[in-house]
Amino acid sequence: MPQKVSHQTALIYVMVLVSAADSEMPDRELGAIGTIVSTLPVFRDFDPEDLVTIAEECASILAGDNGLEDVLAIAKAALNSKFRETAYALACDVAATDGELPQEELRLLELIRHTLNIDRLTAAAIERGAAARYAHP
């Protein structure tokens, strides 16, 4: 049975999951996660000092036999419908930060969308917003 975590921890798990999708966690994506945690209102009462520990917890879960499924189940259980959209938006933001979307990240975003029950129209709007925010010259 998946463990119970806060909505903030679940949001971080989703961002770490996307960053690790292609077996690498690029500095740009890690920096984006740090910026998101330090600036968004959903993390207002979150202690940024806990970020590394939570990311390591997520990595540890991912290393398990059913790591991906377990992290997604934990996130889904911790997030209400409003925060599920937030999770998908943050996942898209992390994926878009380096200007590239490898197949692994695209497949993972689709899996996150399905797991969190984000409808296709909402997902398209979130994806377009992330692309616009992280457009490179």
Residues spanned by the domain of 84: 7-133
pTM listed for this prediction? 0.92
Local structure of residue 2 (DSSP, 8 states): P
What's the CATH code of the domain at 70?
1.10.3680.10
In a domain, 81, yes or no: yes
The angle subtended at Cα 4 by Cα 30 and Cα 51, nearest 5°, is: 25
In a domain, 91, yes or no: yes
In a domain, 2, yes or no: no
Along the chain (137 residues), what's the average pLDDT of each consecutive run of 10 residues? Answer: 86 94 74 93 95 94 93 96 95 88 87 96 94 85
26: left (phi over 0), alpha (psi -120 to 50) or beta: beta
- How high is the pLDDT of residue 2? 61
In a domain, 73, yes or no: yes
Tally of structural domains, the chain: 1
- How high is the pLDDT of residue 129? 93
- How high is the pLDDT of residue 33? 93
In a domain, 1, yes or no: no
- How high is the pLDDT of residue 30? 83
